[in-house]
Amino acid sequence: MSKMTQRKSLDYVKKDYVRTRTMPANWHLTSYKYKFNITHMKPFLGKLKEQKLVANRCSGCNRVFYPPRLVCGKCLVKPDKWVDIRDTASVSTYAIAYLKDSETGEVVERPMVLVHHDGTDTSSIAELHPDIDVKDTYVGMPIKAHWREERSGGLMDIEYYDKIEDDAEDIKD
């Protein structure tokens, strides 16, 4: 049984800052359309539905991108190789989000983490299991993707990340 069903909706709590930075300027904006090309994501999204993770690799610098990138920012070429990656990862860094429960008004602290998947050279933002406390979150914490039971072939197919056993901690003991 998924924990997701028990989760309540939480709102971001905006703090009132005494002073903010201002930048005087005139902005001349005209209407424009922005098209985001996601054709390079298709093989990746298809695999998500099968509960598999793939990343793409740049043949110029050998960096592995997860999620896949349209273009390598260093080499300015399209990454052209698909590689299977595991669903294990670690926390690169994290920030504390203060979220307000829309029903009770209670403010909860939740870690927002940058996830670095094993075998890749990039990180992406994700959520941890809702029961994981901010105080128990640390940089380098090993985690594993938790898949939704019903997947749609989208980025939300990974519901959150679960904490897994830390081998480094055993070595310290």
Q: How far is the CB of 77 from Zn ion (least distance, A)?
A: 6
Amino acid letter for position 56: N
Q: State which H helix or E strand residue 62 sits in.
A: none
Q: Apex CA 151: angle with CA 146 and CA 153, to 5°?
A: 110
CB 81 within 8 A of CB 56: yes
Nearer to Zn ion, 61 or 70 (CB): 61
Residue 130 is a binding residue for Zn ion (CB under 5 A): no
Interface mask (CB under 5 A) for Zn ion, residues 93-122, using x and -? ------------------------------
CB 159 within 8 A of CB 2: yes
Q: How far apart are CA 11 and CA 14, in angstroms?
A: 9
Residue 74 is a binding residue for Zn ion (CB under 5 A): yes
**Which of 61, 83, 85, 97 forms a contact with Zn ion (CB under 5 A)?**
61
Nearer to Zn ion, 57 or 116 (CB): 57
Q: Which stretch binds Zn ion (CB under 5 A): 3-11, 32-40, 73-81, 114-122?
A: 73-81
Task: List C-alpha distances in Å: 2 to 7, 33, 92.
Answer: 10, 39, 26
**Which of 58, 64, 91, 128 forms a contact with Zn ion (CB under 5 A)?**
58
Residues engaged in binding Zn ion (CB under 5 A): 58, 60-61, 72, 74-75
